Amino acid sequence: MSAVTRSFASDNTAPVAPEILDAIRHANEGDAVGYGRDAWTASAVRRFREHFGEATDVYFTFNGTGANVVALSCLVHPWEAVLCPASAHLQTDECGAFERFAGSKVIPVVTGDGKLRPQDLEPHLHSGHDEHHPQPRIVSISQSTEYGGLYEPAEIRELCNYAHERGLLVHVDGARIANAAAALNATPRAITAELGVDALSFGGTKNGLMFGEAICFFTPELAAGAAPFARKQGMQLPSKMRYVAAQFEALLSNDLWLRYASHANAMTTRLHERVRAIAGIRVTRSVRCNAIFATMDHAAVARAQSEFFFYTFDDVLPEVRWMTHWATQPEDVDAFADCLEAALTSSRVEAR
Amino acid sequence: MSAVTRSFASDNTAPVAPEILDAIRHANEGDAVGYGRDAWTASAVRRFREHFGEATDVYFTFNGTGANVVALSCLVHPWEAVLCPASAHLQTDECGAFERFAGSKVIPVVTGDGKLRPQDLEPHLHSGHDEHHPQPRIVSISQSTEYGGLYEPAEIRELCNYAHERGLLVHVDGARIANAAAALNATPRAITAELGVDALSFGGTKNGLMFGEAICFFTPELAAGAAPFARKQGMQLPSKMRYVAAQFEALLSNDLWLRYASHANAMTTRLHERVRAIAGIRVTRSVRCNAIFATMDHAAVARAQSEFFFYTFDDVLPEVRWMTHWATQPEDVDAFADCLEAALTSSRVEAR
Amino acid sequence: MSAVTRSFASDNTAPVAPEILDAIRHANEGDAVGYGRDAWTASAVRRFREHFGEATDVYFTFNGTGANVVALSCLVHPWEAVLCPASAHLQTDECGAFERFAGSKVIPVVTGDGKLRPQDLEPHLHSGHDEHHPQPRIVSISQSTEYGGLYEPAEIRELCNYAHERGLLVHVDGARIANAAAALNATPRAITAELGVDALSFGGTKNGLMFGEAICFFTPELAAGAAPFARKQGMQLPSKMRYVAAQFEALLSNDLWLRYASHANAMTTRLHERVRAIAGIRVTRSVRCNAIFATMDHAAVARAQSEFFFYTFDDVLPEVRWMTHWATQPEDVDAFADCLEAALTSSRVEAR
Amino acid sequence: MSAVTRSFASDNTAPVAPEILDAIRHANEGDAVGYGRDAWTASAVRRFREHFGEATDVYFTFNGTGANVVALSCLVHPWEAVLCPASAHLQTDECGAFERFAGSKVIPVVTGDGKLRPQDLEPHLHSGHDEHHPQPRIVSISQSTEYGGLYEPAEIRELCNYAHERGLLVHVDGARIANAAAALNATPRAITAELGVDALSFGGTKNGLMFGEAICFFTPELAAGAAPFARKQGMQLPSKMRYVAAQFEALLSNDLWLRYASHANAMTTRLHERVRAIAGIRVTRSVRCNAIFATMDHAAVARAQSEFFFYTFDDVLPEVRWMTHWATQPEDVDAFADCLEAALTSSRVEAR
């Protein structure tokens, strides 16, 4: 077990990766004009265009909620609505930031596995085209999903086609797009822009950065007039932009994004192999990236949480979530699995 | 069949009731200070207090969307949410006005019959009490419901108790509260304030008025500082207020509200008796007030709509809605039933 | 003096004109589809097009704040700003409704007489075109002005040209456009659309109507996609639209708009002739339409207000406003002037 | 002249101070629970309480616009207004973020020197207490001012007393509060909380930090229920909070805040001494902290800007702004002054 505290709560409990911190240090030379009119930002944007295509427009933001809200708000009028899975971060974990900033409605679509498919959308597209009803305008999905699952590329393509045929746009909340790309053995571009996705919140904070996300518009005319203003009005324009840009420059160089994400996924795979063998743990969702959802008895949850911090997603079952990240070490995983095993053994002893 | 055009689309297709128009004419004397500082408004407010209790605070608005949005916006912070049935007018027919004005989230709760019960709310009260999640603050129900159904008084009391025990408030969208009271053989007060309801949108437009709704707060301190400003900022403060007030004064006098609503309900009962006997019509929802929901084949719907205007609620089934109002006449009902019958007969002939 | 109470507070203290009430009564026949899909609305829109040109798009609203806010909100993004005189109703009397609904900034421009000229705008167009600054997008002026003054047609044309050359639009708050047209001996069109005005809030309530204003877009493509939704989301879509439409149909027929407004103006002229001769009254602003601003001593104000209701605009001077309307009678004016004279005589007696 | 690029544009062009970067590096150990539930945040909050008093509530945000908007939005209803100098960052440089997020009105008060005094506020407090008018609720001032000036402590106390007597609160935009405290030879507390200030945006980014500001409420009950939610909904809740907290912990330790700010001020004093002696430069505003405003001819501005980046504040005069920061070196100042002198000499040569 490593000397440092390790948590299995979220990939945002991780420290900053050493290459990222180095990049920050290297950017810390002399003065730089604020708000993105600096060389680091220009370079990081070029890097994004290498990855996603020359037509990509990039806007860095402070955090993921900011990226989602600013991106979506550029693409809707206040009377237009966003359709998303009922489990979407946008719906469940952003405190209504989008509704407050955009004045628009989010329409949560209940789906069993947190993935949206055309047939899930269909019933929501008939509510009427007149002024009494918010007009569906964007479909927003998370890749990887909030439940640690994945859309296959063909699924995203099908969703994009379905949406575009109906005049809708597709946004991907890619807080964990790197984990998805790593798991699918594909580039980020191959699972977004190339499939028809219109806008992407490209995550940094959960993949080794200190802070920073990047909104990518793959059809720049969609938002070119709006995005700079929406970002500023949305309080997401960093004045010392070079420190966000330098982090992304590093992340997108030398396949760092892939290395961090692959490692995080691998640690989850290791944990999965251990916990599936532990009596009393039932893994409840398909494990594809860096999250495991599982049920175990209340007492065991409490015992394990006294040693390692993690979240209970459903108090009743209870269903818990375990996540790994770029810095999780094999010995951390083993220690955690041991802890879970011990917690469950105690439960069984008590239960006798 | 009466000489005038009659529609079964909605109770807002009705003309203004003669006593209401008379009241307007009587109010049309001389000058009156604007914005509610006139004698008609003072008198109409007194009338509301006679009906709902002395502690009632009353704010007239132009329309029902305005009443709902202003009332609810007084009771929530932008990070607090409103729970309502997924079928609520607030959710489906107000074009996101609440989200835009209040910046808050509406949480639609799917229920089979458009009625909310404590067990429907329960799963929505566990999403977390920290800042990541909109905090449930109000339960909003419609009485009568959007499907023409009714909450029994005991159901409303149970819902109010459940809500209050959890720090939530209860709002009733009473666009058709008079139809509900008439059907339940109760006073409006007995089915709202007396059961614990905190705020009511008391409907006028759908019960014989030209325009005008009344927000009633039964616990005035809840909104006293907010309501005048929210109404003005919500563009719902009529300058020539006396013309709203005079209509409500009349509606709440001589049991006019009850006479209009009872008549509307009776006409629906008459129509129900006819259509339940027509082959090819299946009444899909409990008929309690002045609305009938039914399925019939597409061709018959089209034929009937060519003679009488009414709405199709579900294009697929198709499910249609028929409504009656204070001015619907027995001969209108009969003509409409004849029309439906003929439309279905044609369908059967064609189907051979 | 007439038997009825008469006020000199505002043109919205007036009753409904008899021809308007008749029009309402005539519209009160049978059922009509709601929300403007009725024959009265179609006809009233045609009437507007006769007056303002075939390309005019018309949206009826409940009140003047609603008309201004909905009209302007269709024409700005949230990061775009409206420039208006610091005295504009939009700025001073709408409780920030525009800011709340549109999320945009109103930039008040201080001008001596409540009229905006290009040179007043000029300093506000240099604040920067980048994302740190709200981008000026619309100039909104009131005709007649909030001080009872007038823009000459050439002034409006100059303002429109100046605005259009800089990519700005021009909106006219025409709560009293009829008074202006009457005073300028011009048609409403000749002082708006023909001069380059893009959007007009055409006032009804202050010119004899019970309620109702009309947003006119003279370049329909500006707002065609937005206006129906913005009106509904702005809680300004009347369900029983026919009663608004019928009033406007009447107002725009047989020069009723002109008759009412001319009469109101004439009554102010009569009052002006009397009060300019009264010692102790100083008329402070150019009297062009149906409003007089004047100073007189505090005691006299108080005495006069005990008989006739009117507003004090500036408590310190004090500066008061007197308005007349379609129903003000010559004998009302004379009685009011007598009252003012007596109030001032008492003041002089006391002052000895 | 130092080897690195140096700008005189703004204190946000500076790099991160070495002690701050060290603090970040030290915080980069192991996992930490997100969103402020970590030991660094707890410690940094304690540090703030040492500086400002035990009753201080502290909320870290990403940037200055975020701090201002979140702080103010906790203290107003949407129908309440913020009074600030017309030159306030809130009014001129935040793209209407406050209006969009809070739905409230900002009332800009024109003052000659960017400082608000009671007599400036007084005319804005008489617009009426009824629902037609946004209700003044907060006075927001900048210390140091946007023009590089200072409020004396007695002036702030007088403003606070005046505001509190009228039911208003006082907010200080302290993006440069450290520069002000250094210049006044006082603690930050002595020029805010001790004088009656209710809320402070305590600046970090402009005083050596990478990113991060801190909202301080000195009367916690004012915002305790609102602030966590407003911050999240305002997209200002950093997930890896420890990296903001660690920076503030360092800044508030060992008088680093004072050392950086004093140095920045001293560099401006040095520049001031040079430029006041240069013919053709007229310093236009009192120089108290780390900014100089001056006029010089257009050609000289252009020449100087080709070597050093700085902003032109008024294109017409032109008036320019020069700022220094923690990293500005004496030789940078001298090189810049030389550059300005040369630019003006060329102008004079050309002018012959």
pLDDT tens sequence across C191-210: 999 999 999 999 999 999 99
Nearest residue in C to D103, CA atom: C100
Q: Is B94 on the interface with A (CB under 8 A)?
A: yes
Answer whether C7 sits within 8 Å of B33, measured CB to CB: yes
Distance of CA C55 to the CA centre of its chain: 23
What pLDDT score was predicted for residue D3?
A: 53
Look at the block and give the residue holding tokens 């603090």: D23
Q: What is the band of C129 on the pLDDT scale with cuts at 50, 70, 90?
A: confident
pLDDT in tens, C301-328: 999 999 999 999 888 889 999 999 999 9
Q: For residue D16, which residues of chain A lie inside 8 Å, CB to CB?
A: 24, 28, 240, 243
Write out chain A residues lying below 8 Å of B134, CB-based.
95-96
**C28 falls in which pLDDT band (50, 70, 90)?**
very high
- Test A15 with D34 for CB contact under 8 angstroms: no
**Once rounded to an integer, what is the mean pLDDT over residues C130-137?**
95
Name every chain A residue with its beta carbon within 8 A of the beta carbon of C132: 35, 232
Contact D28, A15 (CB under 8 A): yes
C99 touches chain D (CB under 8 A): yes
User: What local confidence, expressed as pLDDT, does residue A3 receive?
Assistant: 52
Q: Mind listing the pLDDT tens digit for each residue in A230-275?
A: 999 999 999 999 999 999 999 999 999 999 999 999 999 999 999 9
Taking an 8 Å cut-off on Cβ atoms, the answer to whether A13 and D33 are in contact is yes
CA distance B329 to B2: 8
Pairwise CA distance, residues D15 & A243, whole Å:
9
**ipTM surpasses cut 0.95:** yes
C-alpha C277/C-alpha C292 separation (Å) is 14
Note whether B68 and B44 are within 8 A (CB).
no
Q: Widest CA span of chain C, in angstroms? A: 68
With CA atoms as reference, the chain C residue closest to B208 would be: C240
Q: What percent of chain C has pLDDT over 90?
A: 92
On whether any CB of chain C is under 8 Å from the CB of A135, the answer is yes
Task: With CB atoms and an 8 Å threshold, state whether D69 touches A327.
Answer: no
Q: In the prediction, which pLDDT does D352 show?
A: 67
Please count the helices (runs of H) and the strands (runs of E) in chain B: 13, 11
**How would you write chain A as a 3-class SS string?**
CCCCCCCCCCHHHCCCCHHHHHHHHHHCCCCCCCCCCCHHHHHHHHHHHHHHCCCCEEEEECCHHHHHHHHHHCCCCCCEEEEEECCCHHHHCCCCHHHHHHCCEEEEECCCCCCCCHHHHHHHHCCCCCCCCCEEEEEEEECCCCCCCCCCHHHHHHHHHHHHHCCCEEEEEECCHHHHHHHHCCCCHHHCHHHCCCEEEEECHHHCCCCCEEEEECCHHHCCCCHHHHHHHCCCCCCCCHHHHHHHHHHCCCCHHHHHHHHHHHHHHHHHHHHCCCCCCEECCCCCCCEEEEECCHHHHHHHHCCCCCEEEECCCCEEEEECCCCCCHHHHHHHHHHHHHHHHHHHHHHC
B63·C97 Cβ contact <8 A: no
Is C340 an interface residue toward B (CB < 8 Å)?
Answer: no
What residues pair up with D348 in beta bridges, in sequence order? none
Range 142-171 of A in CB contact (< 8 A) with D: none
Nearest to B132 among D79, D226, D232 (CB): D232
Selection from B337, B226, B348 nearest residue B275 by Cα: B337
Question: What's the rounded Cα separation, in Å, for the pair D15 and D100?
Answer: 31
Q: Does B233 touch chain D (CB under 8 A)?
A: yes
Question: Is the pLDDT confidence value at D79 over 60?
Answer: yes
Both ends of chain D: CA-CA distance in Å?
31
Identify from B8, B19, B31, B233 which residue to disrupt to test chain C contact, counting C C-beta atoms within 10 A and taking the largest count.
B31
Chain D interface includes A29 (CB < 8 A): yes
Q: How confident is the model at residue B2 (pLDDT cuts 50, 70, 90)?
A: very low
Chains linked to B by 3 or more Cβ pairs within 8 Å:
A, C, D
∠ at Cα B40 (B38, B41), nearest 5°? 70
Assign D204 a pLDDT band (cuts: 50, 70, 90): very high
CB B152 within 8 A of CB B121: no
User: Looking at residues D232-242, what average pLDDT do you find?
Assistant: 98
* Orientation angle between helical segments A18-27 and A242-251, nearest 10 degrees: 140
Per-residue pLDDT at C172 exceeds 80: yes
Q: Is the pLDDT of residue B316 over 90?
A: no
A-chain residue closest to C235, CA distance: A132
C2: confidence class by pLDDT, cuts 50, 70, 90:
very low
Q: What is the band of A327 on the pLDDT scale with cuts at 50, 70, 90? A: very high
Q: Is B135 on the interface with D (CB under 8 A)?
A: yes
pLDDT digits (tens, 9 = 90+) for D270-315: 999 999 999 999 999 999 999 999 999 999 999 999 999 999 988 8
Per DSSP bridges, beta strands C169-174 and C199-203 are parallel
**According to the model, what pLDDT value does residue B352 have?**
67
> Minimal Cα distance from C87: which residue of D?
D127
> What DSSP designation does D3 have?
S
Task: Give the list of residues 6+ apart from residue A209 with CB closer than 8 angstroms, or none.
Answer: A16, A17, A20, A247, A248, A251
pLDDT at A132: 95
Give the sheet arrangement for strand A282-283, strand by strand.
A282-283, A291-295, A319-323, A311-314
Burial class of C154 by CB neighbour count within 10 A (0 to 12, 13 to 18, 19+): exposed
Give the relative orientation of helices B242-251 and B39-52 as an angle to the nearest 10 degrees: 30
DSSP string, C231-300: HHHTT---TTTHHHHHHHHHHTSTTHHHHHHHHHHHHHHHHHHHHTTSTT-EE-S---SSEEEEE--HHH
- What's the pLDDT tens digit per position in A83-142? 999 999 999 999 999 999 999 999 999 998 999 999 999 999 976 779 999 999 999 999
H/E element holding C81? Answer: strand C80-85
Q: What torsion, rounded to 10 degrees, do the Cα atoms D123, D128, D134, D140 define?
A: 30
Q: Quick: pLDDT tens for D129-168.
A: 799 999 999 999 999 999 999 999 999 999 999 999 999 9
Stretch among A138-147, B82-91, B343-352, C59-68 having the lowest mean pLDDT: B343-352
Q: A218-225: long-range contacts (C-beta < 8 A, 24 or more apart)?
A: A218/A52, A218/A53, A218/A55, A218/A56, A218/A192, A218/A193, A219/A55, A220/A55, A220/A56, A220/A57, A222/A74, A222/A75, A222/A169, A222/A198, A223/A57, A223/A71, A223/A74, A223/A75, A223/A199, A224/A57
Give phi and psi for C29, each to the nearest 5.
-120, 120
Phi and psi at D190, nearest 5°, equal -65, -20
Q: Which of B239, B308, B329 to mutate to test the interface with C (most CBs of C within 10 A)?
A: B239
List, in order, residues 6 or more apart from A304 with CB less than 8 Å away.
A310, A339, A340, A343
Residue in the block written with tokens 């709760």:
B109
- Scanning the structure block, which residue is given the tokens 């006219």? C172
Distance of CA A182 to the CA centre of its chain: 14
Which residues lie below 8 Å from residue C222, measured CB to CB, with a gap of 6+? C74, C75, C169, C198, C199
* Among A73, A75, A80, A132, the residue to mutate for chain C (most C Cβ within 10 A): A132
DSSP result, D119-182: HHHGGGG-S-SSTTSPEEEEEEEESS-TTS----HHHHHHHHHHHHHTT-EEEEEETTHHHHHH
What are C43's two structure tokens? 């006809």
Cβ(C138)–Cβ(C107) below 8 Å: no
